[in-house]
Amino acid sequence: MFKENFEKLIKIKEILKKILKDEKSIDNLFKILENPQRIIKVYLPLKRENDDLEIFEGYRVQHNNFLGPYKGGIRYFPKVDEDEVKTLAFLMTIKTALIGLPLGGAKGGIKVDPKNLTEKELEELSREYVRKIYDFIGPDKDIPAPDVNTNSKIMDWMVDEYIKLTRIATNDKNKNGDENRLKATFTGKSIENGGSEGREEATGKGGEIILESLIKKLNLQKPLTVAIQGFGNVGYNLAKFLYEKGYKIVALSDSKGGIYSEQGFNPELVMECKKEKGIISGCYCVGSVCDSRLGKDITNEEILELEVDILVPAAIENVIHKENAHKVKAKIILEMANNPLTEEADEILNQKGVIIVPDILANSGGVTVSYFEMLQNLNNERWSKEKVFSELEKYLTRAFEEVWEIKNNYNLSLREASFVLALKRIYEGFKNN
Ligand code: GLU
C-alpha cells in the first residue's frame, strides 16, 4: 500500500520540478520520503485476567520531521501491520505540511481488537506500549494522539505513564515544575487532563469547514443530501455539524449496519437511540421523533452506492475499491477516514468526474486542534471552544484556498493539488535543514 501510494506521486514530482526549478533537490527529497526515517516495532506482553500471557504487536513509524517533530495518532485494530502504519505515517507528513503546521508525520498502532479486552487489560496494554516507545517520544520529538479505536481516556493513561517514566529517568523532585510541558507529549487528552476544548469534535468540525468552502466554490444550493459511513467520533460529529448547517443526512451507518430515510435524520437523536438499543438498526430519528415508519435498514455496502450529493466514508481505509467504485453515485466524496479509496477507486471516480476531497484536507481538523492543544500545554494557556474553532477555521480555509488555486492553475484534482502544496512546504523544510 505504501509503495503504490508513493508511486502515484510521479506527476506531482514533475509539477514541483516545474514550479521550483530545482530538479536535483526534488529528486533527492523524493528519495528520502520514499522511506520513513524510523520504524519502531515492539512486542507487548499482556497478562490477561484469566492469567494467560498474550503478546501483542505494536508499531510507531516516524516518517519525516523536516518541518517539526513527528505527529500522528495511534490506532488499535486487528489489521494493523507495518505497511499500513507506514502509509498512514506518510499521509501525516503530507497532512501537517498541507495545513502549514510546524510538525512532521508519524503513526502508531497495536494489532488488537480492543473489544476483546477488559478495561484493565486495555489500560495495561496502553501503558506497556508507552514503556516500549518512551525513548522516541516527547514534545520536541514525536507527539502521538488518538486514531481508530483510541480516545482521550487512552491518551490520559499514556501521558500518565510517560510522566511517571520521565520522573524516574530524571530523578525529578520538583513534581509540578514541567508537568504541562510533559503533557504536550500526547494530544487528544481529556479536558481535565490538559486536553483542548473542541479536540473531540475537531475532525468533524474541520470536515464541515472544508465542505462548506467547497460548496461555496461550486455554487451549490442546500439542502444537499449526505450519506455517512461510520458513526464514531468523526462520523457522528460531522453528521451533527452538517445537520445544523442545513444538510440532509439521509443515511448513517456503523460497523454493524446502516439506516436510510429520505426525510433526513437528526444525528443527535440517532445517537441517543443507538446508545439505548446498543445498535443503530431501527433508529429512524427524524426531527424530534424516532419512529419505525420513518426509515429502513441498509447495509454498509449499500450506503456507499446511494443516490446522494455527498458521500462520506468516515470509518476505515479501502472501503471503496475497483469492484464497487463504479457503483458510487455521489457527486462529491468527502474522505473523513484515512485512505478510504484504493488507487483504482480513486482513478475510476476521478474519471467519472466525482469531486473527491482528499483525507489529508478533509480530516485535517483533528491534527490541527492537536497542534493547538500542544501550544496551550507549552504556554500554560486554556483556549475557549470559540477560539479553538475560529483558529481552526482560519487554518483550514487558508489551506483550502491555496489548494483551490493550485488545482486551477495546473488543472489538477484536489488530491494532486494538496500533495503539490504539502510537498512544496516540505521541500522548503528540506532546503533549510
Ligand atoms: N489520528 C488523527 C489523524 O489521522 C489525528 C492525529 C493527531 O492529532 O496527531 O489525523
Mean pLDDT of 205-227: 98
Assess whether 163 and 108 both reside in one domain: yes
Tens digit of each residue's pLDDT (9 = 90 or more) over 103-153: 999 999 999 999 999 999 999 999 999 999 999 999 999 999 999 999 999
- 250 falls within a domain: yes
* Nearest to 187, CA basis, from 372, 318, 38, 17: 372
Q: Does one domain contain both 201 and 184?
A: no
Residue that wins the pLDDT comparison between 168 and 394: 394
The string of pLDDT tens digits covering residues 230-252 is 999 999 999 999 999 999 999 99
Closest CA to 377 of 229, 218, 255, 199: 199
Q: Give CA–CA dist 43/293, Å, rounded.
A: 51
Average pLDDT score, the chain? 96
Ligand 1 mean position to 31 CA, how many Å? Answer: 25
| Residue 273 within a domain | yes
Question: Is the domain of 288 the same as that of 274?
Answer: yes
Residue 2 — very low, low, confident or very high, per pLDDT cuts 50/70/90? confident
Asked if 156 and 217 sit in the same domain, the reply is no
Does the residue 2 lie in any domain?
Answer: no
Average pLDDT over residues 39-67: 98
Residue type, 56: F
Pocket perturbation via mutation, ligand 1, pick of 142, 367, 395 by most ligand atoms within 8 A of CB: 367
Residues 221 and 336 both lie in one domain: yes
* Ligand 1 atom having least distance to the Cα of 95: 10
Q: In terms of pLDDT, which residue wins out, 174 or 282? A: 282
Q: How many CA atoms lie within 13 Å of 96's alpha carbon, on the beta-carbon side? A: 31
Q: Is residue 303 part of a domain?
A: yes
- Residue 4 maps to a domain: no
Q: Does a structural domain hold residue 321?
A: yes
The CA radius of gyration of the chain, in Å to the nearest whole number, is: 21
Tell me: do 152 and 200 sit in the same domain: no
- What nine digits make up the cell of 313? 466514508
Q: Whose CA is nearest to atom 7 of ligand 1?
A: 367
Residues 6 or more apart whose CB falls under 8 angstroms from that of 36 comprise: 61, 62, 63, 64, 86, 89, 90
Tell me the average pLDDT across 258-274: 98
Give me the numbers of helices (H) and strands (E) for the chain, helices first please: 15, 14
Distance 75 CA to ligand 1 centre (A): 10
3-class state of residue 47 by DSSP: strand
pLDDT of residue 172: 67
pLDDT of residue 313: 98
Q: Do 199 and 282 form a contact (C-beta atoms < 8 A)?
A: no
Q: Of 149, 177, 192, which residue is a domain's last?
A: 192
pLDDT band for position 5 (cuts 50, 70, 90): confident
**How do 289-290 and 285-286 pair as beta strands?**
antiparallel
Q: Which of 199, 370, 371 to mutate to test the pocket of ligand 1 (most atoms within 8 A of CB)?
A: 370
Atom of ligand 1 nearest to the CA of 146: 1
Span 206-211, average pLDDT: 98
Name the pairing type of β-strands 70-76 and 285-286.
unpaired
Q: Which helix (H) or strand (E) holds 172?
A: none
Same domain (yes/no): 145, 201: no
Domain check: are 186 and 104 in the same one? yes
- Ligand 1 atom at minimal distance to the Cα of residue 75: 1
Q: 72 CA distance to ligand 1 centroid (A)?
A: 5
Q: State the pLDDT at residue 357.
A: 98
Residue 107 annotated in active site: yes
Question: How many structural domains is the chain composed of?
Answer: 2
pLDDT tens string 61-83: 999 999 999 999 999 999 999 99
Measured from the Cα of 72, ligand 1's closest atom is: 9
pLDDT in tens, 294-348: 999 999 999 999 999 999 999 999 999 999 999 999 999 999 999 999 999 999 9
Listed residues 192, 218, 236: the one ending a domain: 192
105/224 same-domain check? no
Residue 112 sits in which domain range? Answer: 36-192
Task: Tell how far the Cα of 352 is from the centroid of ligand 1, in angstroms.
Answer: 30
Residues 276-288: what's their mean pLDDT? Answer: 97
| Rounded distance from Cα 163 to ligand 1 centre (Å) | 22
Closest by Cα among 98, 196, 104, 88 to 141: 104
- Per the residue annotation, which of 107, 189, 274, 407 is the catalytic one? 107
Q: How far apart are CA 358 and CA 391, in angstroms?
A: 21
The domain that holds 120 is classified in CATH as 3.40.50.10860
User: By mean pLDDT, which of 52-61, 169-178, 376-385 is the weakest?
Assistant: 169-178
CA–centroid distance, residue 294 to ligand 1 (Å) = 36
Residues 160 and 229 in one domain: no
| C-alpha cell, 204 | 468533524
Ligand 1, closest atom to CA 148?
Answer: 1
Task: Tell me the torsion sign for CA atoms 289, 295, 297, 301.
Answer: negative
| Substitution site in 80, 98, 147 for ligand 1 pocket (most atoms within 8 Å of beta carbon) | 147
> For ligand 1, atom 10, which residue shows the shortest CA distance?
367
Which residue, 168, 192, 216, sits at the end of a domain?
Answer: 192
* pLDDT confidence of residue 176: 56
- Give per-residue pLDDT as tens, 403-425: 999 999 999 999 999 999 999 99
Q: What is the pLDDT of residue 7?
A: 78
Pairing relationship of beta strands 248-254 and 289-290 according to DSSP bridges: unpaired
Mutate which of 71, 84, 90, 92 for ligand 1 pocket (most atoms within 8 A of beta carbon):
92
Rounded to whole angstroms, the Cα distance separating 67 from 426 reads 7
310-313, strands of its sheet edge to edge? 296-298, 257-260, 248-254, 225-229, 310-313, 332-334, 355-357
Q: Are residues 133 and 120 in the same domain?
A: yes
**Cα 255 to Cα 231: distance, rounded to the nearest angstrom:** 8
Please give the distance, rounded to the nearest whole angstrom, from the Cα atom of residue 263 to the centre of ligand 1. Answer: 33
Q: Report the interhelical angle of 385-410 vs 365-378 (nearest 10°).
A: 130
Rounded Cα–Cα distance for residues 283 and 272 (Å): 9
Lowest mean pLDDT among 8-17, 187-196, 382-391: 8-17
Nearest CA to ligand 1 atom 8: 367
| Residue 200 grid coordinates | 473531540
Q: Which residue puts its alpha carbon closest to atom 9 of ligand 1?
A: 72
User: What is the rounded CA–CA span in Å between residue 223 and residue 225?
Assistant: 7
Half-sphere exposure of 265 (CA within 13 A, CB side): 37
CATH code of 201's domain: 3.40.50.720
Q: Which residues does 179 contact at the CB level (< 8 Å), separation at least 6?
A: 163
How far apart (Å, rounded) are the C-alpha atoms in residues 354 and 359?
15
| CA diameter of the chain | 65
Are residues 154 and 223 located together in one domain of the fold?
Answer: no
Q: Report which ligand 1 atom has the smallest distance to the Cα of 73.
A: 1
Residues 312, 341 contacting (CB under 8 angstroms): no
Taking a C-beta distance cutoff of 8 angstroms, is the pair 186, 163 a contact? no
Beta-ladder partners of 43:
57
Name the H helices within 219-291.
Answer: 233-244, 267-277
Q: Which residues line ligand 1 (CB under 6 A)?
A: 71-73, 145, 147, 187-188, 338, 363, 366-367, 370
Please tell me the distance between residue 40's alpha carbon and the centre of ligand 1 in angstroms: 18
For 90-143, give the DSSP string: HHHHHHHHHHT-S--EEEEEE---GGGS-HHHHHHHHHHHHHHHGGG-BTTTEE
Rounded CA-CA distance 140/138 in Å is 5
421 assigned to some structural domain? yes
pLDDT tens digits, one per residue of 160-195: 999 999 998 887 655 655 888 999 999 999 999 999
Could you tell me the pLDDT band of residue 1, with boundaries at 50, 70 and 90? confident
Q: What atom in ligand 1 is closest to the CA of residue 187? A: 8
Whether residue 49 contacts residue 120, with contact meaning beta carbons closer than 8 Å, is answered with yes
What's the pLDDT at 326? 97
